[in-house]
Structure formats: C-alpha cells, structure tokens
Amino acid sequence: MAKTEQQQTKVGRPVVHTPEQLLDRLIQAAIDILDERAADADFSVTEVAQRAKVSKKTVYTVVASKEELIGHIIRCGARVATNVLEMPVADVADARAVLARFLREWVALACGPQAVGIYVMAIRERSRYPALGAAYYRARNEQGLQQLAAWMERMQNKNFAAAGDPMMTADLALTMAAAERQRILALGIDEPFTPEQLDRRIEAILQFVFSEKAK
C-alpha cells in the first residue's frame, strides 16, 4: 500500500539549518514574541525554541544566553538605520539628509515594540538577570552610538558639521531623538511621535549638529 503524503513527511530526515539560518530563525521567533507582547514583553529561551520549532539544546549551539540573543535582536534592528550612514555625502545638504534619515530609522527602532519590550524586560529583571541591562546598553552603544560618532567625525573632517566631540554629539543626538519617548512608551502613558512631532524634533537635532555649517 502506498504511503500517504503525511506518512512520507514523518519518515523524512529533519531539516538541517546552517548556524546562520538557525540564528536568523531564533531572532525572528524572539521578534515575533516581542511584537505580540509589546511593553509587557518577556521571553525565555524555551519559548523562543518552541516558536522556532527547535530544541532548547539546539538554541545553545548558536547563542550562549538570552542576553546574547537580545544583542543579536538589537543588532538586526539597528542595521537598517546604520546602513544609512554609509550613503555618500558630497555637501552639507547631503549630510543633513543622511542624518535626518538615520534619525527617523533610529526612532522607529528605539520606539518600536521590540526595543521598548527589551527595555522594559531589562529593567524588570535587573535584580535576577543584571546582564540583560548590560546587553541592552552595550548593543545600543555598539550598534548605534559608535557608528554615528564615527560618521559625525567624518562630517567634521569634511568641514560639513560644526567642530565638537563626535561621541558626545552622537550621544546627545540619539538621546534627543528617542530616549525620553522610549521611556514614556515603556511606562505606557503616551503614543509614538506623530509625523509632525518627529519632523520638529529632527529639525532641532539638525540645527544642533550642524549649527552655522548647515546654513
């Protein structure tokens, strides 16, 4: 008797993923959980494994901990924003346009359900898992602050932006863009920026960064 399609599927070999494919699968599973739960987000490695349809043991072949997975999530989300900083810049107008686009992408990331959920999770679990907060802060710095500071330095070297400490300028720009709104969203007492609010905020940051060079 011929086997049914379902029976044939059962006797087949399990799907084998490369480490890169498995990591992508785990990141997406964690992101889906964060998107669903928003500011009430939390997840365990076991939950991520179940969502990704792999064993918990398999998860640990590509990530050593929940903290490391969070770092990968932030890195994945920040990539869209930081890629903007690689765009060519020929003059001050280009520099302003690139920074404005980067800030929009950064706000979308920092004030989105994934980042807000991780932020809340890091605070809520700081006593039991202090490494979560460290992972969040480190990933934010490595995946946004350092790249923006390097870009600021390039703009200053080209005489497109006002001279100053690139790292401090970058830190202030990111803080002005999203830090307070992220905290408010984490408390559940406000909504994301309206387009008009975001436009005004970005223009204020551009004026701060470029000063006389932007005129």
Instruction: For residue 208, give its domain range.
Output: 67-214
Q: How far apart are CA 54 and CA 80, in angstroms?
A: 28
- Whether residue 129 is contained in a domain is answered as yes
Please give the backbone phi and psi of residue 14, each rounded to the nearest 5 degrees, phi first.
-65, 150
- Whether residue 156 is contained in a domain is answered as yes
- How many other CB atoms are there within 10 angstroms of residue 94's CB atom? 14
- Whether residue 187 is contained in a domain is answered as yes
| Tens of pLDDT, residues 37-65 | 765 667 888 999 999 999 999 999 999 88
Widest distance between CA atoms in the chain: 83
For residue 74, what is the domain's CATH number? 1.10.357.10
Q: Is the pLDDT of residue 4 over 80?
A: no
First to last CA, the chain: 81
- Whether residue 62 is contained in a domain is answered as no
- Residue type present at position 165: D
- Residue type present at position 117: G
Number of structural domains (the chain) is: 1
| Tens of pLDDT, residues 136-195 | 787 778 888 999 999 999 999 999 998 889 999 999 999 999 988 988 988 888 788 899
- Whether residue 109 is contained in a domain is answered as yes
